[in-house]
Structure 1
Amino acid sequence: MTRLSSVLAHRILVSLVLTGGLAVSGCVEDMTAEEAEADPAAFFGDEEWWDEGPPAGEEAKDEALEPMDDLRAETEIAAAPAFQLPFPCGQVWAGQTRTNHSPVNSIDFNRTDDVNDPVVAAAAGKVTRVANEGNTSYGRWIEIDHGGGYRTRYAHLNTQTVSVGQSVSQGQKIGTVGSTGGSSGPHLHYEQRLNGTAQKPVFNGATALFFGTKNYTSKNKCSGGGSGVTGTVNTSGVALTVRSGPSTGSTAVGSVQDGATVTITCQKHGTSVTGTYGTTTLWDFIGTGYVSDAYVNTGSDGQVAPTCN
């Protein structure tokens, strides 16, 4: 089963469970994996997701004010940390807000084949909670204190890779996407709180859409001294050709050995290649040229770095 067909199967199952009927748009089946990856909001359409709210005793009040309703709200936004999307730079995620969400000012993130995709800190801070609610509520979740009364929560995680008391930097991996707890399927439930009150999340200075589903592109750690994403080459022994462009027809400009660690500074779609990690049109720029992402393990399917110019 392809990654796209497996997601379609999951959507059909969720629709049957929640509505007793079939609610998959006919045009969705025509989308390629690359199209679904680039436009997850269109892929998921107007489907409403579902998850349980905070565990007992951890409920959050919701801020009734619109972000710019008065001077107090403006002051709070100005004083907030510079929050970014909780995913690696360049990734595109569908974010959904809805009136029946708990808390209503939280947001759910989803994209195709996202189980075990990295979740990163939206801002620097100290980890205050690493909990597991079992099959209810948040499931596996993490809370980070960013100072000034601001905290973020990341729920339904498959894995947690930080511990209580640990300091984390913005963009640092803290866990992976999952479907633990009360959840209709894999996604990340995300909250920004101020003094225990759920706020409408702000990413890269812009407030999230309320209410509806839209695409968000992560700017988390997209700049700052040439930082990149680390990957490991896996070719089962042979050297991987580095090319001048994202195409098998581009000039060979070098090679990297099997097992080598590479730093991906940006990525671009080009010729389709079938390799160790399936079939993809994504190519990774590693400083000297491009290599097919089909042979590079970054710990995540899909784009993990900014798009090359």
Structure 2
Amino acid sequence: MRSIRLTLLALGALLAGLLMPSAAQADDVTAQAPVFKAPFACGQTWTYSHHSAEVRRALDFIRSDGGTTAGSPVLASAAGTATRHYQAGGAGNYIIIDHGGGWRTYYFHLAAFSVANGQHVSQGQQIGTTGSTGNSSGAHIHYEQLLNGVGQTIRINGQTLPYPSSYGQRHLTSDNGCSGGGNRYWVDTFAQTEGYSGAAARNAQGLLYAGTHYVYCKVWGERYSGTYGYNHWWLRTDLDLTYPGGNGRNAYVPAYYLSRWGNDEARDNNGTVIPNC
């Protein structure tokens, strides 16, 4: 009888091990998550907060680099299949991206959608623009990461973010979409200009000389004004001269310096609208 009882206990322990994942197994689930990146454009800095009344483990982001939050591109944190949704009294226009393996990200309160329903998107692809639709008191990105329908503590580039109770305490600079990409658009600039780490005239990284250059994409940012007008668009490119300690790759220059176009325009030499980053 004693041997039967021991056998049953051993069997129970085996079943418990199968049904209750160990700490190592739980860590492995986290390890299988995509390497999520910030849901906004390369080089931009946003501050974020968490409100106790928020669903799941959301963070709300607004810009803190001098750029305008409303209308800023919202980017896919990781590759997956995007679906479009609307909830009048809550999330407003929102997108869910299914990344596989039970992982999803949510992006609420969009002003507009930038992808079709059911479209596959790549990491860093624009999926919408920042807005305040639904139950929202101002433009921001409400962002969530879920595993099997359960909200997770948000991780960016593999690092867990804190959950401050108000804006201004914590800031995040995006490296989403900073890889350059294969598409290049040729433009002429009429004067030498500095290139910056983001879409604002701060943190100069080096110089772009007057002449013909390639650019990758554009970002709506701080207004840049001069003798010949103004422009809110900034062009991501590689600089001709890098300052000591700077990064000349994927820097931002004002579209103000484009030779052939006017205020708040950003087209290449053939007239093609340069795509958003």
TM-score (norm. length: structure 1): 0.58
1:120 maps to 2:72: no
Structure 1 counterpart of 2:62? 110
| Residue deviations 1:197-256 (CA, integer Å, cap 9, x gap) | 011111011111123441011121223xx43897897xxxxx632427459xx9994335
CA distance, structure 2, for counterparts of residue 166 and residue 220 of structure 1: 19
Q: Counterpart in 2 of 1:133?
A: 87
Q: Kindly, what percent of the aligned residue pairs are identical? A: 36
Residues 169 and 285 (structure 1), Cα distance of their counterparts in 2 relative to 1, 3 Å cut: closer
CA distance in 2, matches of 1:252, 1:206: 34
Distance 2:185 2:114 in 1: 18
What residue in structure 2 maps to residue 57 of structure 1?
Answer: none
- 1:295 CA displacement: 4.6
Tell me the residue number matched to 1:214: 170
Show the counterpart of 1:18. Answer: none
Paired position in structure 2 for 1:227: 181
Unpaired segments ≥5 residues, structure 1 = 1-68, 234-238
Name the CA shift for 1:189/1:228 in 2 (closer, same or farther; >3 Å). farther
Structure number, greater radius of gyration: 2
The reply to whether residue 156 of structure 1 matches residue 109 of structure 2 is yes
Find the counterpart in structure 2 of residue 54 from structure 1.
none
Residue 87 of structure 1 aligns to a residue in which SS?
coil
The separation in 2 between residues aligned to 1:228 and 1:273, in whole angstroms, is: 32
Residues 1:187 and 1:252: Cα distance change in structure 2 (over 3 Å)? closer
Contact 1:151–1:193 (Cα < 8 Å) also in 2: yes
* C-alpha separation in 2, matches of 1:229 and 1:214: 34
Indicate yes or no: 2:111 matched with 1:179. Answer: no
8 A contact 1:125–1:167 mirrored in 2: yes
What letter corresponds to residue 137 of structure 1 in structure 2? G
Task: Describe the SS at the equivalent of 1:192.
Answer: strand
Between 152-161 and 69-78, report the one with greater CA deviation.
69-78
Q: Contact conserved, 1:228 with 1:265, CA < 8 A, in 2?
A: no
- What is the CA–CA distance in structure 2 between the aligned matches of 1:201 and 1:173, rounded to whole Å? 20
Which amino acid is 2:86 matched to? N
User: Aligned partners of 2:92 and 2:207: how far apart in 1?
Assistant: 49
Alpha-carbon distance in 1 for matches of 2:253, 2:186: 12
1:31-50 matched pairs, under 5 angstroms: none
Does the C-alpha gap of structure 1 residues 292 and 97 become closer, same or farther in structure 2, counting only changes over 3 Å? same
Question: Unaligned stretches of 5+ in structure 2?
Answer: 1-21, 197-205, 242-251, 259-264, 268-275
Deviation, 1:150, is 0.2
2:151 equivalent to 1:193: no
What is the one-letter code of the residue matched to 1:110? Answer: I
1:147 matched residue in structure 2:
100
Does 1:240 find its partner at 2:192? no
Q: Give the equivalent residue in structure 1 for 2:256.
A: 294
Give the SS at the match of 2:37. Answer: coil
**What SS does the aligned partner of 2:216 have?**
strand
Equivalent residue pairs, number: 214
Say whether the 8 Å CA contact 1:120–1:170 is kept in structure 2. yes
Q: TM-score, normalised by structure 2?
A: 0.64
